DNA sequence: TAGTGGTCTAGACCACTCA
DNA sequence: GAGTGGTCTAGACCACTAT
């Protein structure tokens, strides 16, 4: 161990964990002990261990020490795709069509989510995204105009509402869920696939300060896969 | 700003970014300047900015400074599920049945992945996971026995092969992909759903030191959703 | 209460890369 | 070449919590 760096120490600790030097679920030496062993400052060991903890391989507690996780948490991390970038990554030209863009009385599940009275109007949009001339994804969106300034001036003809929102209401919280659904009649028609075709669905709700800004369902055309590394 | 901590500084920087104090895509002040402004050590500002960079809100470059991301990367992070834990989280009892457990000549796509000759045998398994008495997920697996010691002694009757692998071959690398497929005949029969039902599919390949250990496809029963936070 | 990790500091040197 | 972030150090104090 000639180079002492938090990175090298992290790798070293990782392989020692893998080799079984310490029991699964067991304690590993304290930071001070490891610092002495590696001949570096405690800060450096701390950083290495903190990284391992973020990755879910160890659990750290004050006074309790650092333990190896019983069932190592396999965390995957990936970027929630922006449709335009996904399309352009394939080399195809991106464009979209706005199929709906109007206030509408939402189903109950939506009005609840928006904390609205049942009969209040909510802005509703449907967007069809293309890769070249092939439909790539079909998106339905409920949008809380009260949470979004300037919507009337948004360039929704030229920029997808999605991207405009990202730029205008940045850095909000959100929930996402992934699932599989059989295409209904409207969606299969939009995407040009058979009825009941299995589609990958991303359902997101975006918040800002406890106010729902928007909730969307994006149905991807059949070839779509979402990839991540463990 | 009475408390100076990397956490408080991170929050402060975050709200300053949100407020539009700096242009999207623009530079924010250098660490030394911020440290002076906040009245703390540069190390502390560094940690705050490093966290923001890990979250994908800013991009940092030596000499180039720290820039606010144009399209903030929405990263989702979630735990790759262990089927037993998923089932038990619903309150149902977990059990599984081993439907196949035998060497087999794999399709070409698998033998390539395993770097095998075309006609080499690879161990093949099919597992059906139950939540109570209801099928929950159907899993097919190719397993590289050369990469796994002790497989013959694995308690595959009582512990699912998945969990056994996690404990026996820990901390390896992996790829995952998520997609949607229409159930084929065998899968729909196993899960007790209609043919062509849309199913959520997780496809994983696990590596250790450039050797493929195992590759699996897990088909989830229709109600399944994978959730994450942004 | 004592031991552990969490964090901050002030200073230093280095690696990268923009101009 | 010069400015920026990346990292390390040695020491310090603190917060949490197991015992």
pLDDT tens by residue, A100-134: 999 999 998 888 888 776 677 889 999 999 999 99
Q: Is the Cβ–Cβ distance between B124 and B142 less than 8 Å?
A: yes
**Pairing relation of β-strands A122-131 and A75-80?**
unpaired
CA of B203 to C1' of C16 (A): 39
3-state secondary structure of A12: helix
C-alpha–C-alpha distance, residues A144 and A163, integer Å: 16
- Give the residue nearest to nucleotide D15 (CA to C1'): A62
The tokens describing B168, both together, are 């026996």
Q: Is the pLDDT of residue B155 over 90?
A: no
Order of strands, edge to edge, in the sheet holding A58-61?
A27-28, A65-68, A58-61
CA of B7 to C1' of D13 (A): 18
pLDDT at A100: 92
Count residue pairs from A and B with Cβ separation < 8 A. Answer: 154
pLDDT at A142: 93
* pLDDT (average), residues B103-131: 86
What band does A73 get if pLDDT is binned at 50, 70 and 90?
A: low
How much is the CA Rg of chain A, to the nearest whole Å?
Answer: 24
> In chain B, which residues have their Cβ closer than 8 Å to the Cβ of A177?
225-228
3-state secondary structure of B226: strand
Q: Is the pLDDT of residue B39 over 90?
A: yes
- Give the residue nearest to nucleotide C3 (CA to C1'): A63
Chain A nearest C-alpha distance from B195 (Å): 11
> In chain B, which residues have their Cβ closer than 8 Å to the Cβ of A166?
71-72
CA of A44 to C1' of D9 (A): 9
Residue A119: which residues within 8 A CB-CB, separation 6 or more?
A105
The tokens describing A19, both together, are 């080799």
* pLDDT (average), residues B80-85: 80
pLDDT at B169: 65
- Output A71 or B203, whichever has higher pLDDT: B203
Is the CB of residue B201 less than 8 Å away from at least one CB of chain A?
Answer: yes
Chain B nearest C-alpha distance from A134 (Å): 19
| Closest among A72, A176, A175 to B82, alpha carbons compared | A72
pLDDT at A131: 94
C-alpha–C-alpha distance, residues B185 and B183, integer Å: 7
Interface of B with A in 1-20 (CB under 8 A): 14, 17-18
| Bases in strand D with any atom closer than 7 Å to a protein CB | 2-12, 15-18
* pLDDT (average), residues A196-220: 90
Q: What is the percent of chain A with per-residue pLDDT over 90, rounded to a whole number?
A: 51
In order of A54, A80, B24, B54, B97, the CA distances from B51 in angstroms are: 12, 19, 18, 5, 44
Pick the residue of B74, B89, B226 with the most A CBs within 10 A to test the interface with A by mutation. Answer: B74
Q: Which residue in A82, A173, A206 is closest to B71 by CB distance?
A: A82
Chain A nearest C-alpha distance from B169 (Å): 8
CA of A23 to C1' of C9 (A): 36
pLDDT at A12: 94
Q: Which nucleotide is nearest to A60 if distance is taken from CA to C1'?
A: C5
- Largest Cα separation within chain A, whole Å, is 70
Residue B189: which residues within 8 A CB-CB, separation 6 or more?
none
pLDDT at A227: 86
The tokens describing A198, both together, are 């299995």
A19, exposed or middle or buried, with CB in 10 Å at 0-12, 13-18, 19+? exposed
Interface of A with B in 106-165 (CB under 8 A): 163
pLDDT at A70: 76
The pTM for the full model equals: 0.83
CA of B47 to C1' of D17 (A): 26
Chain A nearest C-alpha distance from B139 (Å): 17
Q: What is the mean pLDDT of chain B?
A: 86
Q: What is the percent of chain B with per-residue pLDDT over 70, rounded to a whole number?
A: 91
Strand partners, B217: B140, B203
Residue with tokens 């109950």: A108
Q: Is the pLDDT of residue B149 over 80?
A: no
What band does B63 get if pLDDT is binned at 50, 70 and 90?
A: very high
- Output B78 or B132, whichever has higher pLDDT: B132
Residue A144: which residues within 8 A CB-CB, separation 6 or more?
A114, A122, A123, A211, A212, A213, A214
What band does B73 get if pLDDT is binned at 50, 70 and 90?
A: low
Which residues from 55-74 of A have any strand C atom under 7 Å from their CB? Answer: 60-66
Q: What is the per-residue pLDDT across A7-58, written as a single tens digit (0 to 9) for each? A: 999 999 998 988 889 988 899 999 999 999 999 999 999 999 999 999 888 9
DSSP class of residue A22? S
Helices then strands, each counted (H, E), chain A = 7, 11
C-alpha–C-alpha distance, residues B35 and B15, integer Å: 17
In order of A80, A167, A203, B10, B53, the CA distances from B72 in angstroms are: 10, 8, 19, 16, 10
| Bases in strand C with any atom closer than 7 Å to a protein CB | 2-12, 15-18
Strands (E), chain B: 27-28, 58-61, 65-68, 74-79, 94-104, 122-131, 134-143, 173-182, 198-208, 211-220, 226-229
B15, exposed or middle or buried, with CB in 10 Å at 0-12, 13-18, 19+? exposed
- Give the residue nearest to nucleotide C2 (CA to C1'): A63
CA of A63 to C1' of D17 (A): 6
> What is the H or E stretch that residue A113 is in?
helix A108-113
Q: What is the mean pLDDT of chain A?
A: 86
Residue with tokens 């159907």: B138
Q: Is the Cβ–Cβ distance between B68 and B25 less than 8 Å?
A: yes
Strand partners, B164: none
Contact A173 B229 (CB under 8 A): yes
Contact A226 B197 (CB under 8 A): no
| Closest among A202, A116, A214, A124 to A165, alpha carbons compared | A214
| Closest among B182, B186, B87 to B137, alpha carbons compared | B87
pLDDT at B2: 40
Q: Is the pLDDT of residue A210 over 90?
A: no
């Amino acid at each position: 161990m000639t180079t002492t760096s938090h990175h090298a120490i992290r790798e070293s600790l990782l392989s020692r964990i893998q080799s079984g030097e310490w029991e699964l679920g067991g304690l590993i030496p304290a930071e001070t002990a490891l610092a002495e062993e590696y001949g570096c400052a405690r800060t450096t060991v701390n950083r290495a261990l903190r990284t391992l903890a973020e990755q879910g391989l160890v659990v750290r507690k004050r006074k309790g020490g650092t333990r190896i996780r019983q069932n190592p948490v396999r965390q995957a991390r990936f970027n929630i795709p922006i449709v335009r970038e996904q399309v352009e990554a394939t080399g195809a030209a991106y464009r979209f069509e706005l199929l709906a863009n109007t206030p509408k009385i939402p189903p109950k599940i939506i009005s609840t989510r928006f904390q609205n009275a049942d009969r209040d109007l909510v802005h509703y949009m449907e967007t069809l995204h293309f890769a070249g001339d092939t439909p790539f994804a079909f998106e339905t969106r409920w949008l809380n105009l009260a949470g979004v300034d300037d919507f009337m001036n948004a360039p929704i003809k030229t920029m997808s509402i999605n991207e405009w929102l990202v730029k205008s209401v940045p850095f909000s919280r959100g929930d996402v869920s992934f699932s599989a659904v059989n295409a209904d009649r409207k969606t299969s028609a939009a995407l040009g696939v058979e009825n009941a075709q299995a589609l990958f669905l991303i359902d997101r709700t975006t918040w800002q300060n406890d106010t729902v800004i928007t909730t969307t369902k994006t149905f991807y055309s059949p070839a779509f896969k979402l990839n991540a590394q463990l």
